[in-house]
Structure 1
Amino acid sequence: MQERPSIQQLENFIIYGKVRNFATAAHRANITQSAFSFQMKKLEEMLNIQLITRSNRGSDLTREGEFFLQKIIPIIDELDEAIDELQKFAGKAVYINIGALMSMGDILMNRHISYFKQHNDNNICFNVYNLEAKSMLKKLDSGQIDIASTFLLPQMHADGCEKKLFCKDEFVYYAPCLDLTQDKITADIIQRYPLVTHSPDYFMTNSLEDYFVKLKIHPHIDARLSTPYAIIHYCKHNKVATLISKRLLQELGITNDYYELLEPLNFSSYLLYKHENPKIKSMEIFVDYILDLYQQNR
């Protein structure tokens, strides 16, 4: 009987087929480039067919490699689905790991999970991690998290991910200790009072700075804090303001002391995930639930 490729070899060949680069493919497979190249060589030797061309200018799939790739992708997808369904059939919980953007606030995801558990498959369980964008995208790429809930900011690169827009987040001017009478906050007011915002290396910090450049202002930053909850608490006890998600404030029960911005500041909120994840069926049940939830509330 002819020796057959391992599942790992086939999965890694699919990864290569998507990126067409050994270094990138090895990174996504979480192994060294030499180990990845060795696996592909062994696969070719086992099949006695060259699947990948290699030269000083790079590498690519051969005609046979393209054919093989299209044949094995649905096979691996069906195997993943079968394993997922078997786990459910056996009554075992499927754990979905979710990364929530630090500056977005994980309490919003907590509510989604609570509602989902009340109305859907209780064999699906969740682990939620509050992460900064760089760390979250890295964990999504390596498979340490299954779904990322994030603003898709211009500086972020999420190549190879499915991107599902579920809502638009309006940012407002939150200033509970300032005596303001304006209906809408102008650039002059933002410039006048000190602000508290996110840590310097957060992607959100860069996006807010772009907004200030657009307004042609340089507001004084009173403090830079690590979470939106710390920022909100700081604002409650100091004569400062912040620019923050209206949706997050309302989820925390805060219905006043914030003001609309004359120059709107909005961010698109997305769920990111990868189709080659073996838990894809369970993940898509949850993703579809979130999309339906926001569609109904529009």
Structure 2
Amino acid sequence: MEQLPNIQQLENFIIYGKVRNFTTAAKKANITQSAFSFQMKKLEELLGVKLIVRSNRGSDLTETGEKFLHRIQKIMGDLSDCVYEMKQIKEKIVPLNVGALMSLGDVLMNQHLAYFQKHNTDLTINVYNLEAHELFHQLEEGSLDIISTFYMSQFDSAKYGKTFFCNEKMVFYAPHLHLQQKKLDIKTIADYSLVQYAPHYLMNSIIKNYFMVNKATPIIKAWLSTPYAIMNYCQQNETGAVLSERLLNAVGIDTGYYSMVPSFNLKCYLMYKKNNPRYKIMKIFIDYVQNLYANKQ
């Protein structure tokens, strides 16, 4: 029987096809560049065709290499699906890894999971509460199956799927102000000191941009990492913070906050890789969350 390429050679060829650079591809494959180059040459020898053209200026796929990449990506995707489905015959419990945006709080996702798992006993779900850059990184690397976040423009729409599930209403939480009005305009809010998320957090830039667009400059009293720490700080001091109304309600807070003028709403999505072999399982969870919020809008 004619010798066939091994799985590692094919997987590493796909890695090269994505980055078109031996040094970068070798790092992603976690092997030395010389070992990676040897694998690609061995693959070409087995196939009897030139897949990669090399020169002093770099390297790239040949026309044959492009065709092979297209075919082998589909074949490897089908193989992953097949292996995953076979494992499920042996393992009844299917793990699903879900990431929630730290600045929105994990209590919301935990509430959903408790109900969901009660009615889907064949599924187990691991929840990871992370900041945006780490959520995106782990989704890209495959450590997370689904992330709950705001839509980011850097996502490749051809590679990622996104399902809208709710509008996040942001409010001004300031329990020590004791104001009579239910709504505060942004100029009034900017007169009070503000507790903000840490500078490198996604929510920091979103809130900062909201004030900037509306030509207001708040006085920042402190920078904290979690919405729970921010809530606690506001409860202990005469200051305010921009937080999710949904999160405040989830932890039992229904007073002490004010609607913002102009309104501050953010669209929330569940995002996932389209070629994830767990997609059938993921779809059950995605549909559940989407339907849950459809009834609340």
Which TM-score tier does this pair reach, normalised by the shorter chain?
0.7 to 0.9
Q: Secondary structure at the residue paired with 1:17? A: helix
| CA positional deviation for 1:31 | 5.0
> TM-score of the superposition, structure 1-length normalised?
0.87
User: Offset of 1:18 from its aligned partner?
Assistant: 4.2
Q: 1:172 & 1:213 partners in 2: Cα distance?
A: 17
Q: Structure 1: how far apart are the matches of 2:28 and 2:211? A: 36
Matches within 5 A, 1:55-66: 55-66=55-66
Partner of 2:183: 184
* Equivalent residue number for residue 44 of structure 1: 44
What residue in structure 2 maps to residue 12 of structure 1? Answer: 12
Given the alignment of the two structures, is residue 117 of structure 1 paired with residue 114 of structure 2, yes or no?
Answer: no
Amino acid at match of 1:46: L
Query: Is the contact made by 1:172 and 1:259 (CA closer than 8 Å) also made in structure 2?
Result: yes
8 Å contact 2:178–2:256 — kept in the other structure? no
Q: Distance in 2 between matches of 1:182 and 1:35?
A: 68
Is the Cα contact below 8 Å between 1:28 and 1:142 reproduced in 2? no
Pair 1:127–1:62, CA change in 2 (3 A): same
Cα distance in 2 between the residues matched to 1:151 and 1:95: 24
Which residue of structure 2 aligns with residue 146 of structure 1? Answer: 145
Task: For 2:169 and 2:23, locate their aligned partners in 1 and report how far apart those are by CA, in whole Å.
Answer: 40
Aligned-residue offset at 1:242: 0.8
2:155 counterpart of 1:158:
yes
- Confirm whether residue 132 of structure 1 aligns to residue 110 of structure 2: no
Identity %: 50
- TM (norm. structure 2) is 0.87
Alignment correspondent of 2:88? 88
Counterpart residue type for residue 44 of structure 1: E
Query: Cα distance, 1:225 vs. partner?
Result: 1.1
Amino acid at match of 2:151: L
Residues 161-199 of structure 1, C-alpha deviations (whole Å, 9 max, x = no match): 333332221111111111112232112221211111211
Distance in 2, Cα, partners of 1:262 & 1:198: 21
Query: 1:97 touches 1:128 (CA, 8 Å); kept in 2?
Result: yes
Can you give the 5+ residue segments of structure 2 that lack an aligned partner in the other structure? Answer: none
Change (3 A) 1:167 1:28: farther
Please give the alpha-carbon distance, in whole angstroms, between the structure 2 residues aligned to 1:164 and 1:33: 39
Report which stretch shifted further, 243-252 or 47-56. Answer: 47-56
Tell me by how many angstroms 1:19 deviates. 4.7
CA distance 1:271–1:233, shift in 2 (3 Å): same
Q: Secondary structure at the match of 2:3?
A: coil
Residue 158 of structure 1 aligns to which amino acid in structure 2? F
SS in 2 for 1:103: helix
- In structure 1, the residue matched to 2:205 is 206
Q: Count the aligned residue pairs.
A: 295
Shift of the alpha carbon at 1:33? 5.2
> Unaligned 5+ residue runs, structure 1?
none
Instruction: Provide the C-alpha distance between the structure 2 equivalents of 1:265 and 1:34, rounded to a whole number of angstroms.
Output: 53
Mapped pair 1:271 → 2:270: yes
Shift in CA distance, 224/29, structure 1 to aligned 2, threshold 3 Å: same
CA distance in 1, matches of 2:260, 2:217: 16
- Shift of residue 287 of structure 1? 2.5
- Taking structure 1 as reference, are residues 60 and 232 closer, same or farther at Cα in structure 2, changes over 3 Å only? same
Does the CA contact (< 8 Å) of 1:171 and 1:244 recur in 2?
yes
Q: Please tell me whether the aligned partners of residues 147 and 271 of structure 1 are also in contact (alpha carbons under 8 angstroms).
A: yes
In the alignment, what sits opposite 1:102? 102
Distance 1:23 1:241, change over 3 A: farther
Q: What's the CA shift for 1:26?
A: 4.8
The residue number in structure 2 matching 1:280 is 279
| Cα offsets for 1:209-231 (capped at 9, x unmatched) | 11121122221112211111111
| SS of residue in 1 equivalent to 2:232 | helix
Amino acid in the other structure paired with 1:205: N
Shift in CA distance, 212/138, structure 1 to aligned 2, threshold 3 Å: same
Cα distance in structure 2, aligned partners of 1:236 and 1:43 = 64
